[in-house]
C-alpha cells in the first residue's frame, strides 16, 4: 500500500513536467500555426521574415482595410508577460478570459483586425502558457 503510494507519487512528479511540456508545445502550435497570433504580433525583419528575437512583442500592422473599418487598429500590442498589457490586465487569467470571450477585463470587445476569439478553456490556457514562456 505504502509502496504503491510512493510509486504513484514518483509517477506524478515525473509526469508533471511532461504534461507542462506538452501543454506548451500545443499552445505554441495554436498560437503559431492555427490562430497565427504570431503573424500579427511579431515585427518583421528587413527581409520580411518574422523577427524571432521579438516574438509577440507587437508591431505596426502592414495591412490596412481598403474601405473604412470602424475602430481599426494600426498597431498590435506586446503580448509577452514582460509587456505593459500583462501588468495592466493583472496576469494570465485575464488573457485566458479574453481568448475565451473576445472581451477585455474592462468588457471591451477585441478591436479589428484582432479576432474576437471564443476558444475552449484548455486551448486558451495552452496559448497563454506558451505566451507566458516567452521573454
Applying CB under 6 A, which of residues 26, 55, 81, 98 lies at the interface with ligand HEC?
A: 98
Residue 33 sits at φ, ψ, to 5 deg, of -100, -35
Nearer to ligand HEC, 7 or 116 (CB): 116
- Measured CA to CA, the distance from residue 110 to residue 113 in angstroms comes to 8
Output the nine-digit C-alpha cell for 97.
Answer: 478570459
Give the binding range for ligand HEC (CB under 6 A) out of 7-15, 19-27, 36-44, 47-55.
36-44
**Binds ligand HEC (CB under 6 A): choice among 110, 129, 132, 134:** 110
Report the residue from 43, 83, 102, 113 that binds ligand HEC according to the rule CB under 6 A. 113
Nearer to ligand HEC, 2 or 63 (CB): 63
Distance CA 71, CA 116 (A): 14
Secondary structure class of 16 (helix, strand, coil): helix
Q: Report if residue 97 touches ligand HEC, rule: CB under 6 A.
A: no
Torsion of CA 130, 131, 134, 135, to 10 degrees: -160
Q: What does the block give as the cell for 103?
A: 472581451
Q: Quick one: which of 114, 129, 133, 134 contacts ligand HEC (CB under 6 A)?
A: 114
Cell reading at 40: 500579427
Residues in contact with ligand HEC by CB under 6 A are 31, 35-37, 40-41, 61, 73, 76-77, 79, 85, 95, 98-99, 104, 108, 110-111, 113-115, 117, 127
Amino acid at each position: 500500500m505504502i509502496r504503491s503510494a510512493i510509486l504513484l507519487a514518483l509517477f506524478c512528479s515525473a509526469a508533471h513536467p511532461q504534461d507542462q511540456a506538452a501543454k506548451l508545445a500545443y499552445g505554441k502550435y495554436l498560437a503559431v500555426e492555427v490562430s497565427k497570433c504570431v503573424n500579427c504580433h511579431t515585427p518583421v525583419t528587413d527581409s520580411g521574415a518574422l523577427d524571432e528575437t521579438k516574438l509577440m512583442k507587437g508591431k505596426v500592422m502592414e495591412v490596412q482595410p481598403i474601405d473604412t473599418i470602424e475602430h481599426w487598429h494600426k498597431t498590435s500590442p506586446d503580448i509577452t508577460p514582460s509587456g505593459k498589457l500583462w501588468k495592466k490586465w493583472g496576469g494570465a487569467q485575464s488573457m485566458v478570459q479574453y481568448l475565451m470571450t473576445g472581451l477585455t477585463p474592462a468588457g471591451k470587445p477585441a478591436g479589428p483586425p484582432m479576432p474576437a476569439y471564443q476558444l475552449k478553456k484548455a486551448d486558451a490556457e495552452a496559448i497563454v502558457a506558451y505566451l507566458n514562456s516567452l521573454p
